[in-house]
A and B are shown apart, each in its own frame.
Chain A
Amino acid sequence: NAGVTQTPKFQVLKTGQSMTLQCAQDMNHEYMSWYRQDPGMGLRLIHYSVGAGITDQGEVPNGYNVSRSTTEDFPLRLLSAAPSQTSVYFCASKDTWETQYFGPGTRLLVL
């Protein structure tokens, strides 16, 4: 049981490039979410999904797209990277007791 996994661990992008952050969980959780963590800001919700085929926006969705074709996977796409998207990104899944389990995070640097 690997829990929540994220790839890559670290990525450097140039402004305007696109990329996909991968997230997978093997706990059969319906609810998955993406957060970004910036210094002094705590974690802020980007997008979430309550099940395959269903996604919704969180607090800071601009510049990001998500899709949920399977229960296991919840990728986050940056359409055209900007320096303001430099951050640490966390994926999480939630169990039936309302507890969220986080992946190890992806550090993204946009130059």
Chain B
Amino acid sequence: AQTVTQSQPEMSVQEAETVTLSCTYDTSESDYYLFWYKQPPSRQMILVIRQEAYKQQNATENRFSVNFQKAAKSFSLKISDSQLGDAAMYFCAYSLLSQGGSEKLVFGKGTKLTVNP
């Protein structure tokens, strides 16, 4: 079964600095998708960034970028120029497009990010 591990239950960063959140996953598949979701105190799940496993280029979205290491099964999220609004729970997620068109999204347990002014 696929699993997603986030080894950092909590992280903190100073405003305007850079922080990296770690994520590793376990799969025997070669084609899959990886996501980072942000959950602020409002509890809304917000997509931050996604990566297709067949793409070698790391995804970027403004201040958010990933370091995707397929062989190491690692998918870390880098947040540059951290802002107070970045404070939230961050979830790493894996999805496999299985036979029949179904898809199962597997989540890690999350990393709570605190941004200090």
Pairing of A with B: yes
Bound together, the chains give a CA A41 to CA B37 distance in angstroms of 15
> Is the beta-carbon distance between A104 and B109 smaller than 8 angstroms?
no
Count of chain A residues with a beta carbon within 8 Å of a chain B beta carbon: 24
Determine if A58 is an interface residue (Cβ-Cβ < 8 Å).
yes
Give the chain B neighbours of A48 by CB distance below 8 A. Answer: 102-104
Count of A-B residue pairs with CB < 8 Å: 56
Proximity bits, A15-44, B CB within 8 Å = 1, else 0: 000000000000000010100000011111
Is B95's beta carbon under 8 Å from chain A? yes
Q: A42-B91, A43-B91 are in contact. Are A88 and B43 (CB under 8 A)?
A: yes
User: Which residue in chain B gives the minimum CB-CB distance to A107?
Assistant: B43
Residues of B within 8 A of A1 (CB): none
Closest to B110 in A: A42
Task: Tell whether, in the assembled complex, residue B95 and residue A98 are in contact, meaning their CB atoms are under 8 Å apart.
Answer: yes
State which of A50, A56, A88, A100 has its C-beta within 8 Å of the C-beta of B105. A100
Expressed in whole angstroms, the minimum distance between the Cβ of A18 and any Cβ of chain B is 24
Interface presence of A101 (CB below 8 A):
yes
Cβ of A105 and Cβ of B105 under 8 Å apart? no
Q: A42 near B105 (CB under 8 angstroms)?
A: no
Task: Tell whether A77 is near chain B: CB-to-CB under 8 Å.
Answer: no
Cα–Cα, bound, A45→B1 (Å): 14
Residues of chain A contacted by B35 (CB below 8 angstroms): 99-100
* Interface status of A74 (Cβ within 8 A of chain B): no
Which residue on chain A has the smallest CB distance to residue B97? A98
Interface set of A (CB-CB < 8 Å, partner B): 31, 33, 40-45, 48, 50, 56, 58-59, 88, 90, 92, 94, 98-102, 104-105
13 A-B pairs with CB atoms under 8 Å apart are A31-B103, A42-B91, A42-B108, A43-B107, A48-B104, A92-B45, A94-B103, A98-B50, A98-B97, A100-B35, A101-B47, A104-B42, A104-B44
6 new A-B contacts at CB < 8 Å, known A43-B105, A56-B102, A98-B33: A42-B109, A45-B106, A88-B43, A94-B103, A100-B47, A100-B105
B residues touching A (Cβ–Cβ < 8 Å)? 4, 33, 35, 37, 42-45, 47, 50, 91, 95, 97, 100-110
